Each structure stands twice: as C-alpha cells, then as structure tokens.
Amino acid sequence: MPAVMLSTDLAVRPLSLGWSARANNSLSDWALVGQSPFSIAGRFRINPELPASETEGQVLHGPMEAASVPSFAGSTETRKNTVERRDDPLYLHVDAIRRIDFSATSSYGRKA
C-alpha cells in the first residue's frame, strides 16, 4: 500500500511555486517544499501483538519496497489507527507524525 504525506502548513508550501519550475522561483522555496512530502510503499497489516478494539489499534507498514527517503527502504513503520463508519463507507485513519513539526492524518476509505 502506498502512502503520501504532505504538510498543510502554508509556511512550507509557498503558493508562488508552480510546475514546472518558473524562472522567478527560488531554490530556497523549492528546498522548503522538498522537506515536507514523504512517500512510502510496502505491505500493510494490523499488528497482531497488541490489543486492538473494533475502533482502534496499531498498523505495521512495511517492509518498505519504495520510499522517498532512501534510509526508509526496507524499514517497517508502526502507526496508531482508528476505524470510523460514516454512512456506508468504513474509513481507516492512520496517524503519522513528521519530524518537521507538523502532523498529518491519512484516511483510506472502502465500502464495507
């Protein structure tokens, strides 16, 4: 399962940047943006070693087959999860905390 995490903090996402790079975009703005995105891909499963309820538990994501940060390749990430039903879909929320002072929540929805 792939996961992509991005900051929602506009301080690290200058609105002046566009794709592709424009002549008036500074390298420092691009460096700022480049610090926050994080993407990984690997096996995803519920941690069987910890108690879980119908609404919360812990997931293991890995070993990583691909990662935007090379040192994460081959690693397994541990994350808290919650399950929520909204109308018909069942949502799995996986909490992720980044080391650059922001947090993100990824939500994966599926039909129950």
Q: What is the residue extent of each domain of the chain?
A: 2-111
Q: What pLDDT, on the 0 to 100 scale, is given for residue 112?
A: 35
Distance between CA atoms of 14 and 33, rounded to whole angstroms?
A: 8
Look at residue 82 and tell me whether its pLDDT is greater than 50: yes
pLDDT computed for residue 4 by the predictor: 80
Q: What is the pTM of this model?
A: 0.59
Q: State the chain's mean pLDDT as an integer.
A: 77
pLDDT band at 55 (very low <50, low <70, confident <90, very high): confident
- The pLDDT assigned to 105 comes to 41
Q: Across the beta sheet with 56-67, what order do the strands follow?
A: 2-5, 38-46, 56-67, 77-85, 89-97, 103-111
Per-residue pLDDT reduced to its tens digit, 13-33? 888 887 776 677 888 888 888
Is residue 41 within 8 A of residue 1, CB to CB? The reply is yes
Kindly tell me if the per-residue pLDDT of 96 is higher than 50. Answer: yes
Enumerate the β-bridge partners of residue 23. none
pLDDT of the residue at 64 = 92
CA 52 to CA 104: how far, in whole Å?
Answer: 22
Q: Report which of 79, 75, 111, 84 is spatially closest to residue 94, judged by C-alpha positions.
A: 79
DSSP symbols for 45-74: EE-TTS---SSEEEEEEEEEEEESSGGGTT
Q: Burial level of 94, CB count in 10 A (0-12/13-18/19+)?
A: buried
